[in-house]
Each structure stands twice: as C-alpha cells, then as structure tokens.
Amino acid sequence: MMIHAAGNDEFTKLYIPTNTPHGSTTLKDHSSSNHTLTCTGSAQADASVMKFGSPTILLGAAGNTVTAPDSADWDFGTGNFVLDHQLLFTTVPSGTPDSLFENVAIFQGLGSTRWICGFDHSDVVFNAQVAGTNVAGYKATHGMSNGVMYHFAWVRSGTSFFIFKDGVAFSLTTLTAIGSNAMPNVATDPLTVGGTGLAGPTRMGHVRVSKGTDRGWTSNFTPPWNSWG
C-alpha cells in the first residue's frame, strides 16, 4: 500500500523544515503549535547538505541539540502517533548492542518516565518507561550506511508499533509490547532532538511529531518527498 504523508496538518504538533539561512541557530516550528525552539551546543542550520530544498540541522557531537519546551503535545496517552524525520550519520552506530542507546535521534525526558527513539550500536531501538517500568520496547538491526540520508518513522497504530526506514518496515524484536499501554506522560519535559550524553545523528531534517494519527503508515509506504511543508 503506497500512502503519502498529509503533511503539516491539524495532527502536526512539531515540524522543523529548517528553511533558515546557513549557520542560523534560530530555527522555527512551522506547526500550528509554534513551539519556541532552542539550539544548544553547536546545533545550527547547515546548507552544505540540503533536503527538499531546505538546509539540514547540523548536530553530531553530544550536547548539540534542538529542544522544544514542555507541552501537552508530548503526552500521547493511548492514542496513535508518528515521529518522522530525515537523518544522516557520517559514521553510523555499529558494534554489539548493549542497551545504552549509543546514538540518539529523537528522545523525550531523561528520568525514569520517558520515551526514546534512537540507536544502540547496530540496532534501531524504541523504549518507553513509566516510573522505571517498561511499557514499550522494540529493536531491529538498522542496516544504515555512512553518509546516506534516510527517512525514519516511528509509528503507533492502536495496539501495534512500527519502525520504518525509507518507508520499509523493520522486522522488529519485541522487548515489551505496547498493547493498550499508555505512553509516559512527559508533558512537563522538553522534547529534545539530537544527543545529550552521547552523540546524535550528524544531520537531521524535516523533523515532525504527529499526534492522534498513524498517517496510514501500517505497511510499507512511499516516504514524504517535496509535496508538503
């Protein structure tokens, strides 16, 4: 089934297309929520690598992040959601997974109640915890190559969870099935793009959070190209 993204619509709670000048640290959320974004470390718009006509976000080293403030937009409850974005690693995470989430793409919260999307050496991972108890956990071998831009999507649809790379679903190993579990309520925490204690992707772009929809992405799909935003 081939489905294109609806784009920047009523379900979009964060959208960063990075259409700002090269070197800018003033990024803008183009969703209706209009969250104020803060670049930390050396995070900035980088026009040396473009995606769909927009600069990417240069991240890389630990502490280079973009944050959006605490908001009810980050409380998904038991509803559907999609986190999707472009990313590129100059040197992809590799080695034997050890559950330390060696490189982080998008994550929410640093405490015992959190959710995290990221990479544990050679695995792509998703983990959600409430007061230290896992309520969802999945992993698969990521299969990325150095210097290649990929589209990733992390999707909850009802009681099912999916991770896609360039529109192709990973065959996931289930560590903790999401089922009917509520996602952690992290409305009082900022959303962070990039790595804090560990390095994140070298570059990211078109970062989007969608709440209350799975965008029809429950089987392989055509990733969104330059038809929205």
Domains and CATH numbers, the chain: 12-210 (2.60.120.200)
Q: Which residue has the higher pLDDT, 169 or 199?
A: 169
In degrees, to the nearest 5, what angle opens at C-alpha 86 toward C-alphas 54 and 17? Answer: 35
- Burial label for 77, CB within 10 Å (0-12, 13-18, 19+), is exposed
39-68: pLDDT as tens digits: 999 999 887 776 666 788 999 888 999 999
pLDDT, position 101: 81
CB burial readout 213-225, b (16+ within 10 A) else e: bbbbbbeebebbe
Strand ranges across the sheet with 191-194: 38-40, 65-68, 191-194, 103-108, 114-120, 123-130, 133-141, 173-176
Mean pLDDT value across residues 86-92 = 93
> How far is the CA of 141 from the CAs of 13, 38, 46, 96, 151, in angstroms?
29, 32, 29, 10, 16
Q: Give yes or no for a contact between 201 and 28, defined as CB atoms under 8 angstroms apart.
A: no
Instruction: Tell me the chain's radius of gyration from C-alpha atoms.
Output: 16
The amino acid sitting at 54 is S
pLDDT tops 90 at residue 198:
no
pLDDT of residue 187: 93
* Dist CA 101 CA 223 (whole Å): 25
Count the Cβ atoms, other than its own, within 10 Å of residue 226: 10
Tokens coding 67:
């944050």
What would the two tokens of residue 136 be? 């969802």
Residue 220: partners with Cβ closer than 8 Å, 6 or more residues away: 1, 164, 167, 168, 169
Q: What is the pLDDT of residues 6-50, one digit of tens each?
A: 578 999 999 998 777 777 889 999 999 999 999 999 999 887 776
